[in-house]
Structure 1
Amino acid sequence: MKQFIVLASILLVLVSGLKAQELGIHPQSHEYEWPKDQKVLEKLDQWQDLKFGMIIHWGLYAVPGIIESWELCSEDWINRPDSMTYNEFKQWYWGLKDQFNPVNFDPDQWAQAASDAGMKYLVFTTKHHDGFNMFDTQQTDYKITNGLFASNPKANVAKYVFDAFRAKGFWIGAYYSKPDWHNQDFWWDKYATPNRNVNYDIRKFPEKWENFKTFAYNQIGELMHDYGKVDILWLDGGWVRPKETVNEEVLSWGAPIPDWDQQIDMPKIATMAREAQPGLLIVDRTVHGPYENYQTPERAIPEKQLPYPWESCITLGNNWGFVPNEHYKTPATVVHDLAEIVAKGGALLLGVGPKPDGTLDPEAVKLMEEIGAWMDANGKAIYNTRITPVYEDGNVYFTASKDAKTTYAIACLDEKSDVPATVKWKGNIPAKGSKMTLLSANKTVKWKVVNDEVVVSIPSSFRSKNSSYPALSFEFKSGK
């Protein structure tokens, strides 16, 4: 056990200094193709009303509290303990299945915390790159329902996660990794595993790759047919893609690119998935085209407003999954990110990782409650909104109602300073004589225009009750 704890600690330190690009993070792109399926377009418009979601990474990596999957990948940026050979490390990692026993698994706690935070949709990792399945797939025995947790009534984890969130009115998203490093038809033990890609020449062994395509198709089919209503199929592992789609953007990642095609027949998968789940949003990350219904810049916010659907996936702490002694962002930081993202036309998908016992870290739950308190008062400026031509002035961000008749201003405040007596911005000047409401206090406030700048007075009663506040939201009718 002591060796296990030391190993986990070493890995945590090693990965903390890794660059974002090295962690397989997908950057922003400017390519987008609107869906042609009317049901998908309608669902995409509805998704753009939600604005705030939760992505949950939970798997074997939670046991030692290390980065999800990536130490299995033998690329030159990976650091592992010097005391272990690569094969020893792989055997240790694969063997975590014999220790993973989340006896306190509580999906209702997760769903309640997400609801309290004001989130509206879920993306849950049914399988990460390591190939360990968090659902009762019939395609492999490497799964949560085959081990210490198998006899638990909630052993089919994904089912109970989806059920708990669905009961709270959430949209359901299934994260699925296209690469599978445990599958012998992806990483074949006959050869070494030098990088994230399939480790044999598909041109020489086409039958093995066909087997893998069938495996992926069948697993996605299980998720689409056996787990109730699914709204989003969120596909990770953008290096598994048709070779003709490898462009300058992909090359800029710095990841190895094989000479062979790694496509898994997305048209066939999408047809099957949408027959089971009409209007399903498919997010084939970075593979631009008909199966990337919205884009997913990771750990980043685009510099400018984007005219098509997208979400920023950002962690609440520093990591996607659970690690001990996590350093979490403040509620104000999350609120500020959300305001900027929504003003630029996106949604925020916030990453929270449950502990190995199956519960959320109490500190994370508390932070989510604080975020939710702000959303309760100010959500009108976030949910169901759309972009405005003038969307930013310094620390003030603007959104608009879907009918464009109402404008919202969200003034992000310094969390270390007192709430100011006035808030100012340029652009989006209210219509003459119109009423302005401070949503944060549900009060009408006084405003005026001085030298083309809107100056809003903040009630002293609100300032006396709030020594600090993440952001002030205002509702008004814009002038022409």
Structure 2
Amino acid sequence: MKNKFISTLTLVSTVLCTSLCASLYASATFANNHAPSTTVPFTSETLEKYAAPDWFKDAKLGIWSHWGPQAVPRIGDWYARFMYVPGTPQYEHHVKHYGHPSKVGYKDIIPLWKAEKFEPDALMKLYKEAGAKYFVSMAVHHDNFDLWNSKHHKWNAVNMGPKRDIVGDWKKAAQKQGLRFGVSEHLGASYSWFAPSHGYDQFWPLNGVGYDGENPEYADLYHTGKDKPYRDARTWYTDNPESQKNWLLRVTDLIDQYNPDLLYTDGGIPFGEVGRSLVADYYNKNIKNNGGRLEAVYNHKNIGSGEFILKAGVQDIERGVMEGISPYPWQTDTSNGDWFYNDNYGYKSSGQVIHMLTDIVSKNGNLLLNIVQYPDGSLPPESKRLLKEMAAWIKVNGEAIYATRPWKIFGEGPTAAAAGHFKEEDNYTAQDIRFTTKNDVLYATTLAEPAGQIKVLSLGKNSKLLDKKIKDVRLLGYSKKLEWRQEADHLLVVLPEKMPTPFGSSLKISF
């Protein structure tokens, strides 16, 4: 049965598609590696033909809405799982505020998510002003609740909760602002992730009393199989063919209804051939919808779950960065606070986010930034402040960010950046500098606010990195000429008393 099902999945649509290749400029800057072909469609075996489209390589900054019913309790990420795990803060909070999970479970949290102050047009305007070139809507988290008008799952936002098409409303707002639109699916892990909902209490007086996940009335929310509840929480992805088919149907429906420019999977490619066939189908449909040109981005992670194929899409690193320049475009996903709203969680400062963006771009990456929302859909003051301060900074320094490519080295400075998942550096100094390039111009951006002067050690007269003489040095956002000189071992730039922007500044260097 499983083999028959999987073999059927390999019959993906045979539309015209693109054959792509990655290449570098001879000067070590990164070239346009989008070379279209119209001969062979993608299949699950030929995903490594993929190369990221120009729009993504130029965009650099996306904003994400990692938002849904799990925001309601205001206690952060993974609520739907941990509310069924005694001893966790989520369990204690749930029992205190809602009741015991044998009677009041996650099914009862969902109707409390009303999104009554959700104004996607107003939010998208703020996101564009803050510098976003693409926007990603969560479509379904591990909680198995679809945020669109799902054809294959009754537990969705149109049927219950806010009773509106959240994904569709986000897409309309993004299109009005001229932003590319993406969706994130976290469903693949849900079939194992939700296993605690089938557990039972281990304490008197309810010892042995099963949670509401055991109730067959809610089997489609809590992943009850045909024969018995699915309880295997040993792995991120299930090997249950029934669950894999459910994932395929729902994510395919998501793609077909919204034709997203970007599809993000929270992990590696799920379910082997099943997942690879879906990615190939996604690419082929995108090519058909874009007149023979591939404009799609598929994000997946090298994180020990599922299948990671570097050239099959765009690698995503969760709350972390690359150690150095990657020859392939990549993406960091992170949040300015907790993933879902949390009363007790801190927020990143504007400086931290801007420095992270600058570092990532210098290494050929993009930043996908979740902006925390209240359960009702409005923004906390910390999110509003970040967007306002990012807008002011990007208005001046965006030239050094957008449509740039890495230079011969990503940067210099005393701070060694953390690398890998869940490693975020926030102790940069004004001596930490990141390089980007566009046409014949080199940009050098500091990762803190400099004062007095800047010494760029990589740009001295004796530097082996330079094959041309420096002709001029400008400061973005400053109209007057600067005093500068090129010494043997550094470029010295004297700065104005008042800098154009806080958090960091960009030198524009021409040759």
TM-score interval, normalised by the smaller of the two chains: 0.7 to 0.9
Give the equivalent residue in structure 1 for 2:223: 187
Q: How far is 1:407 from its partner? A: 0.5
Equivalent residues of 1:285, 1:292 under 8 A apart: no
Cα distance in structure 1, aligned partners of 2:267 and 2:103: 20
Equivalent residues of 1:137, 1:222 under 8 A apart: yes
Cα distance in structure 2, aligned partners of 1:474 and 1:408: 5
* Counterpart check, 1:407 vs 2:442: yes
Q: 1:375-424 CA distances to partner (integer Å, 9 max, x unpaired)?
A: 000111111111111221111111111x4x2100001225xxxx511111
Equivalent residues of 1:313, 1:349 under 8 A apart: yes
Give the equivalent residue in structure 2 for 1:134: 147
Equivalent residues of 1:75, 1:194 under 8 A apart: no
Give the equivalent residue in structure 1 for 2:74: 65
Match of 2:297 among 281, 287, 298: 281
The normalised TM-score by structure 1 is: 0.75
Q: 1:101-140 CA distances to partner (integer Å, 9 max, x unpaired)?
A: 1122111122112111111111211000110111110111
Check 1:324–1:75 CA distance in 2 against 1; reply closer, same or farther (3 A cut): closer
Give the equivalent residue in structure 2 for 1:425: 456
Give the equivalent residue in structure 1 for 2:177: 168
Q: Choose 306-315 or 265-274, whichever is displaced more.
A: 265-274
Cα distance in structure 2, aligned partners of 1:107 and 1:443: 40
Q: Which amino acid aligns with 1:369?
A: K
Q: How far is 1:343 from its partner? A: 1.0
Give the equivalent residue in structure 2 for 1:372: 391
Match of 1:312 among 326, 332, 357: 332
Cα distance in structure 1, aligned partners of 2:323 and 2:280: 35
Q: Which amino acid aligns with 1:81?
A: Y
Equivalent residues of 2:52, 2:314 under 8 A apart: no
Aligned to 1:124, the other structure's residue is in SS state strand
Cα distance in structure 2, aligned partners of 1:433 and 1:159: 50
* Unmatched 5+ stretches in structure 2: 1-20, 23-32, 38-48, 195-218, 288-293, 414-431, 461-465
Check 1:96–1:180 CA distance in 2 against 1; reply closer, same or farther (3 A cut): same
Cα distance in structure 2, aligned partners of 1:72 and 1:437: 53
- Count, aligned residues: 402
Aligned to 1:169, the other structure's residue is in SS state coil
Cα distance in structure 1, aligned partners of 2:103 and 2:368: 31
Q: Which amino acid aligns with 1:299?
A: R
**Aligned pairs for 1:326-337 within 5 A:** 326-337=345-356
**Aligned pairs for 1:386-401 within 5 A:** 386-394=405-413, 395-401=432-438
Cα distance in structure 2, aligned partners of 1:199 and 1:160: 30
Give the equivalent residue in structure 2 for 1:230: 260
Equivalent residues of 1:56, 1:320 under 8 A apart: no
Q: Which amino acid aligns with 1:50?
A: A
Q: Choose 353-362 or 158-167, whichever is displaced more.
A: 353-362
Check 1:264–1:191 CA distance in 2 against 1; reply closer, same or farther (3 A cut): farther
**Aligned pairs for 1:431-470 within 5 A:** 431-432=468-469, 434-460=471-497, 462-463=498-499, 469-470=502-503
Match of 1:221 among 248, 252, 265: 252
Q: Which amino acid aligns with 1:113?
A: L
Check 1:284–1:340 CA distance in 2 against 1; reply closer, same or farther (3 A cut): closer
Q: 1:414-438 CA distances to partner (integer Å, 9 max, x unpaired)?
A: 5xxxx51111111135854612110
Aligned to 1:88, the other structure's residue is in SS state coil
Equivalent residues of 2:153, 2:250 under 8 A apart: no
Give the equivalent residue in structure 2 for 1:321: 340
Equivalent residues of 1:193, 1:199 under 8 A apart: no
* Counterpart check, 1:477 vs 2:510: yes
Give the equivalent residue in structure 1 for 2:59: 50
Q: How far is 1:330 from its partner? A: 1.6
Equivalent residues of 1:301, 1:312 under 8 A apart: yes
Check 1:196–1:234 CA distance in 2 against 1; reply closer, same or farther (3 A cut): farther
CA RMSD in angstroms, aligned pairs only:
3.2
Cα distance in structure 1, aligned partners of 2:221 and 2:274: 16
Q: How far is 1:198 from its partner? A: 7.8
Cα distance in structure 2, aligned partners of 1:335 and 1:90: 46
Equivalent residues of 2:137, 2:182 under 8 A apart: yes
Cα distance in structure 2, aligned partners of 1:324 and 1:442: 44
Cα distance in structure 2, aligned partners of 1:336 and 1:349: 14
Check 1:117–1:230 CA distance in 2 against 1; reply closer, same or farther (3 A cut): same
Cα distance in structure 2, aligned partners of 1:104 and 1:75: 31
Check 1:303–1:324 CA distance in 2 against 1; reply closer, same or farther (3 A cut): same
**Aligned pairs for 1:99-114 within 5 A:** 99-114=112-127
Q: Which amino acid aligns with 1:474?
A: L
Cα distance in structure 1, aligned partners of 2:470 and 2:265: 50
Check 1:144–1:455 CA distance in 2 against 1; reply closer, same or farther (3 A cut): same
Q: How far is 1:78 from its partner? A: 6.1
Q: Choose 43-52 or 33-42, whichever is displaced more.
A: 33-42
Give the equivalent residue in structure 2 for 1:116: 129
Check 1:325–1:76 CA distance in 2 against 1; reply closer, same or farther (3 A cut): closer
**Aligned pairs for 1:80-91 within 5 A:** 80-81=90-91, 88=101, 91=104
Equivalent residues of 2:34, 2:54 under 8 A apart: no
Aligned to 1:471, the other structure's residue is in SS state coil
Equivalent residues of 1:420, 1:458 under 8 A apart: yes
Equivalent residues of 2:134, 2:180 under 8 A apart: yes
**Aligned pairs for 1:30-49 within 5 A:** 38=36, 43-49=52-58
* Unmatched 5+ stretches in structure 1: 1-32, 203-208, 242-261
Equivalent residues of 1:135, 1:145 under 8 A apart: yes
Check 1:43–1:180 CA distance in 2 against 1; reply closer, same or farther (3 A cut): same
Check 1:324–1:196 CA distance in 2 against 1; reply closer, same or farther (3 A cut): farther
Aligned to 2:316, the other structure's residue is in SS state coil
Cα distance in structure 2, aligned partners of 1:282 and 1:191: 32
Q: How far is 1:211 from its partner? A: 3.4
Cα distance in structure 1, aligned partners of 2:453 and 2:237: 61
